[in-house]
């Protein structure tokens, strides 16, 4: 009589996932990350190629390449919104860095702690926690205050 296979426990399942993921890292270390596969209309069925007029690919800003950047694609979208009349710089004021705005020291403490946990490196404080009105903003109401009844 054949033995029934044991039911996998959660721990067994997690262990197998861990081993599979570890093998991916080992493979990438040994052979390098997955090779970028360039876009090709030849991979599509003819009826789809016929339906897509003017299809183009931009491999230099691909997110699938090793070191690919979603920021570069986002900046490209910003550039398209203003093109050709409004030139767009390749990088904005923060150049792809995450921008977090804290309102309290507690939030700054959370960010510093999380950055330390994952080894994110420097947390660079750009401004203080006080907002200031622009000098051209009118801070005095033009409406006469209500004196009551």
pLDDT of residue 84: 93
Residue range 72-112, pLDDT digits in tens: 888 888 899 999 999 988 887 777 777 888 888 899 999 99
DSSP letter at 105?
A: H
CA distances from 116 to 48, 67, 73, 96, 109 (A): 48, 23, 29, 20, 11
Q: What pTM, to 2 d.p., does this model score?
A: 0.47
Q: Which residues of 38-61 are buried (b: 16+ CB within 10 A; e: fewer)?
A: eeeeeeeeeeeeeeeeeeeeeeeb
* Residue 149 pLDDT class (50, 70, 90 cuts): confident
Q: Are 61 and 76 in contact, with CB atoms under 8 Å apart?
A: yes
Q: What is the DSSP letter of 43?
A: G
Q: Which residue has the higher pLDDT, 31 or 128?
A: 128
pLDDT (tens digit per residue) in 30-47: 555 556 667 888 888 999
Report percent pLDDT > 70 for the chain: 74
> For the chain, how far is it from start to end, CA to CA, in angstroms?
97
């Amino acid at each position: 009589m054949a033995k029934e296979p044991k039911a996998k426990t959660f721990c067994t399942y997690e262990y197998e996932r861990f081993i599979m993921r570890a093998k991916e890292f080992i493979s990438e270390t040994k052979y390098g990350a997955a090779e970028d596969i360039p876009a090709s209309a030849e991979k599509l069925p003819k009826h789809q190629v016929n339906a897509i007029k003017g299809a183009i690919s931009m491999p230099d800003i691909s997110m699938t390449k090793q070191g690919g950047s979603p920021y570069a694609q986002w900046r490209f979208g910003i550039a398209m919104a203003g093109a050709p009349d409004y030139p767009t710089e390749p990088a904005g004021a923060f150049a792809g860095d995450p921008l977090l705005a804290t309102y309290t020291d507690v939030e700054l403490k959370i960010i510093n702690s999380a950055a330390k946990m994952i080894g994110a490196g420097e947390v660079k404080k750009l401004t203080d926690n006080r907002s200031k009105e622009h000098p051209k903003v009118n801070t005095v109401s033009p409406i006469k205050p209500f004196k009551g009844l």
